Structure formats: structure tokens, C-alpha cells
Amino acid sequence: MSIATLVLGESGSGKSTSLRNLDPEKTGIIQCINKPLPFKSSGWKVELNVARTNDPVKILDILRAHNKDIIVIDDFQSVLVDEFMRRATQRGYDKFTNIRKIAWDTFNLAGALAEHSRVYILTHSHTDDNGGIHVKTVGKMVDQVITPEGYFTRLC
């Protein structure tokens, strides 16, 4: 069983910048938004240890096939938002069911990889009316069914 850690923070709080502290030889990054890393990135190379995709199926395939000690998904919330926007004209609840399934599949797999693996899922946070900090998703239709924080033994 792998160690899955959920890293929550507001936009600009340093989630992606913290990756500079990881060894590029031992780490793979799945960038869900196609943008440069926010630090000097000489050790990080697309196709070598950086994959760029927001496709949930490809993300799961990369997680299953990775050969690094550490794998990072940056920024998972964008995967949910992108799926929501791809289906913006679709009516009904099916799109929310699919988005919940994407989150559920990803969180379950993050904790079920090889024992030596560590998976970090970086995502945006949301503060509720009571001051509690939670994973920012795409709304109540997702939040009423799945509690992302419950799938992780470690939250940062």
C-alpha cells in the first residue's frame, strides 16, 4: 500500500513551488495544467519525468505504470473543473456522477500502489462556513457523495 498525501492550499500558496525540493531522479510529475514549473527546472523534462495531461484515464494509466519512488499530481482540482467544462452543455446528473468517479478512482489508486511509492496530490482548498478546510471540487453534487480527505492518511 502506497503513502498518499493530499496537499491543500489556496492558489499561489506554494504547492507547485514546493516541488523544487524533490529529487527529479526519483520523482514523476503529472502536470494537469500545461504551464512551466514555477522554479528553475533543469532536472525536470517532459517525457522523462514530467507528463502533461488533464485526461483522467491517462492520469490513472501513468499512476499504474510509473517507475519512480514519488509521483505528484499537480493540480488535481483542474482535472475536475476541466471535465465539468467539457460537459458544460450536458444536462442532468451524469456529468457529476462521472466527476465523482474520477475523484474516487484517483484517490483509491493513489493509496493502492506499490508499498515503496509515495503519491502527492496537490489541489486547491475551500474554507467552509464553519472555517473547515476541504478539497475544492466542482460543487455540492460531488461533495455530498465523496469526502476526498477521508482517502488520505496525511493532509498538508
DSSP per-residue letters across 77-137:
HHHHHHHHHHTTT--SSHHHHHHHHHHHHHHHHHTSS-TT-EEEEEEEEEE-TTS-EEE--
Longest dimension (CA), the chain: 46
pLDDT of residue 41: 77
- Please provide the size of the chain in residues: 156
d(CA 98, CA 137): 13
Q: Name the amino acid, one letter, at 13.
A: S
Residue-wise pLDDT tens digits, 99-151: 889 999 999 999 999 988 999 999 998 888 899 888 888 877 777 788 888 88
d(CA 115, CA 122): 20
pLDDT of residue 128: 85
Residue range 55-64: mean pLDDT, rounded: 95
Confidence of residue 6 (pLDDT cuts 50, 70, 90): very high
- pTM as predicted: 0.90
CATH topology of domain 3-151: Rossmann fold (3.40.50)
Residue range 4-32: mean pLDDT, rounded: 92
Of the chain, the end-to-end C-alpha distance in Å amounts to 20
